[in-house]
Amino acid sequence: MGFDLGDRQITVPVLLAPLAGITDLPFRTLVSRFGAGLVVSEMIASGEFLTARPGTREKAELGAQIENTSVQIAGREAGPMAEAARRVADMGARVIDINMGCPAKKVTGGWSGSALMRAPDHALRLIEAVVEAVDLPVTLKTRLGWDVDCLNAPDLARRAEGAGVRMIVIHGRTRCQFYKGAANWAAINEVKSAVQVPVIANGDVVDASAAKDALRLSGADGVMIGRGAQGAPWRLAQVAHALYGAPKPDVPRGRALIDMVCGHYEAMLDFYGATLGNRVARKHLGWYMDAANTPPTLRKRLLTERDTRAVLSLLPEALSAEAEVA
């Protein structure tokens, strides 16, 4: 069922995907509290990371040293990638992940992320540089290919394994699909057949049913969940329980849900500061209110409120529909 990743044993292979602007330290901490095999940080651009001022939030509160955290780095040059990996390792990281799957234009336009699937020889040089730079397990996250005419994930995975990569995560779409259409879990099976290291299936794994199908079709060793955890930080634990018999999470309802959401909100205020934290938290509060069927007028009021104390006072009412159901 599980597998080793360096000095860490992934006993329950249900992982949290890195989502820009979403899987920050407060959210990863909350997901980990319910249970997760591994949580992956938001992508770090290696060049920007190296030039950031000492003591900035990104460096000081990355959470690299937290036991079940993998730190994801991205870039297009071997030198900065290697140096970023070394610095993250010095910060206490246990696992380093290389991003070669991000489809965003601002990333691929700079020949980072999934754009590297169009230059596999260069991609391999980056992988080799990172692996050689640190004495830590290095993993790779990528996609099926750039487009339907460039489905080279099996070959890239094979070469990455040869360079020393210890785990490979495949999102079951091409870069040109972005997040449209359905993830092709069956296509991940070609990657699984090409390598001996663990392969993790990603894309559209939103609940236990989808996770079972993803594993059956891909033959993968585990699953990675991204959007399925939005507004449901307990989702990974639910999937782990259904697939692997891990402890069943105590999903908060009623007052417990209100307390959890308020705690998440306050953690974001502490992390980002009141003004930025209030803005960044809105997406999370929106997802919580989606599940609670919050009335539109109240929802709009809460998501446009700038006074953090007022937000906290509105949350019990905004989540009361869910509370009544519970």
Active site residues: 102
Q: Was 171 annotated as part of a binding site? A: yes
The DSSP string of 258-311 is HHHHHHHHHHHHHHH-HHHHHHHHHHHHHHHHHHHT--HHHHHHHHH---HHHH
Helix (H) or strand (E) holding 105: helix 105-108
Dihedral, 236, 232, 321, 271 alpha carbons, nearest 10: 140
Cα 183 versus chain centre, distance: 17
Query: In Å, what is the CA distance from 98 to each residue of 72, 134, 217, 278?
Result: 6, 13, 25, 30
> Angle at which helices 274-292 and 254-272 pack, to 10 degrees?
160
**Phi and psi, residue 111, nearest 5°:** 60, 45
Task: Compute the distance between CA of residue 175 and CA of residue 319 in angstroms, rounded to an integer.
Answer: 37
**Residues contacting residue 313 through CB under 8 Å, at least 6 positions apart:** none
Q: Was 284 annotated as part of a binding site? A: no
Task: Compute the distance between CA of residue 107 and CA of residue 112 in angstroms, rounded to an integer.
Answer: 5
Q: Was 264 annotated as part of a binding site? A: no
Tokens of 43: 């992508």
**Residues contacting residue 137 through CB under 8 Å, at least 6 positions apart:** 5, 6, 8, 94, 95, 96, 166, 167
Q: Was 72 annotated as part of a binding site? A: yes
Q: Was 226 annotated as part of a binding site? A: yes
Residue ranges of the binding site: 72, 141, 171, 226-227
Residue ranges of the binding site for FMN: 72, 141, 171, 226-227
